Amino acid sequence: MVKNGRRTIAITSGKGGVGKSSIASNMAYLLGDRSRSTFILDADLSLGNIDIMFGMVPKFNIKHVMDGMRQMDEIVLKGPCGIRIIPATSGVSEFSELNHNERAVLLSSLAALPAHDFLIVDTSAGISSNVLYFNALSEQIFIVVTPDPASITDSYAMIKVLSRRTGRKDFNIIVNMVRQESEALELYKKLVGVTDRFLDVYLDYFGFVPLDQNVNTATRKQRLWAEHFPNCEATRALSKICDRLVSE
Ligand SMILES: Nc1ncnc2c1ncn2[C@@H]1O[C@H](COP(=O)(O)OP(=O)(O)OP(=O)(O)O)[C@@H](O)[C@H]1O
Ligand SMILES: [Mg+2]
């Protein structure tokens, strides 16, 4: 685990396309807005797109650090509200599974990051060894789930594997793309109904983000919705999640 008083939180999911990167990058912005120094690590190493979310074109990325060609401080990008972004490589399939040496370099580079309040780790979807690794190095795991039945089933599978392989029992749930909070709570109860029957885990409902057209509008323009639509429903809901994060 990456320690030294900083909070490392993983944003992960069973199914792809549920809004992890969108939530992670806008969460970083809102934490920055709350004067919390925040790094965001694009941990989708082969298809990373956090830099796209911020409308940036990185010259170097985490692969250059693992190859020993660059130092971490040379690849980190500065985003709005003082966020610092650690970009991933894109489309290099050989890089999709980290070997022992790459993991060691990554871990020591993260441990040597300047002081910060939060490191948000945006993982890829599913249960690859990289995803397990990034969840294992984070203190808190946030599972993003949507009303899509496949997302619910895959979240259960993800929690099962993560608990067995990392020994974790506590998971935070963020429900995305619902019409209103009652729908999010229903979905959460459904998931708890299954995990309570079959697994020895505790799921904490951390909040929800509604389905909001402003999210797509901003994303298409490579803008952060939390920045450009500060009063939209999605931003208001994610702000509540961030308020809870900073109060803990
Ligand atoms: N609350 C929302 N309302 C409307 N659209 C949303 C919402 N959350 C995410 N989206 C849209 O869903 C799509 C997928 O989002 P995103 O790329 O963040 O998912 P992901 O889980 O990171 O995907 P992957 O598994 O491929 O990494 C994007 O087009 C995004 O704009
Ligand atoms: Mg993503």
CATH code of the domain containing 107: 3.40.50.300
Mutate to test the pocket of ligand 1, among 12, 21, 22, 239 (most ligand atoms within 8 A of CB): 22
Residue 6 lies in a domain: no
Round to whole Å and give the CA distance between 46 and 48. Answer: 6
Position 79 in a domain:
yes
Ligand that comes closest to the CA of residue 20: 1
- Domain-embedded: residue 165: yes
User: For the segment 174-210, what is each residue's pLDDT rounded down to a tens digit?
Assistant: 999 999 999 999 999 999 999 999 999 999 999 999 9
Residue with tokens 């929690």: 159
Residue 7 lies in a domain: no
β pairing state of 84-86 and 77-78: antiparallel
Residue 3 is assigned to a structural domain of this protein:
no
- Across the chain, mean pLDDT equals 92
Residue 235 lies in a domain: yes
The domain tally of the chain equals: 1
First-residue to last-residue Cα distance in the chain:
19
Type of residue at 203: L
- pTM, two decimal places: 0.95
The first and second tokens of residue 117, run together, are: 């309040």
Identify whether 10 is part of a domain.
Answer: no
For residue 203, report the phi and psi dihedrals to the nearest 5 degrees. -105, 125
Q: Does residue 5 fall inside a structural domain? A: no
- Exposed (0-12), middle (13-18) or buried (19+): which is 72, by Cβ within 10 Å? buried
Q: In which domain, by residue range, is 230 found?
A: 15-247
Helix-helix angle 213-220:233-247, to 10 degrees:
90
Q: What is the pLDDT of residues 106-161, one digit of tens each?
A: 999 999 999 999 999 999 998 889 999 999 999 999 999 999 999 999 999 999 99
Of 58 and 33, the one with more pLDDT: 33
Give the pLDDT score at 177. 98
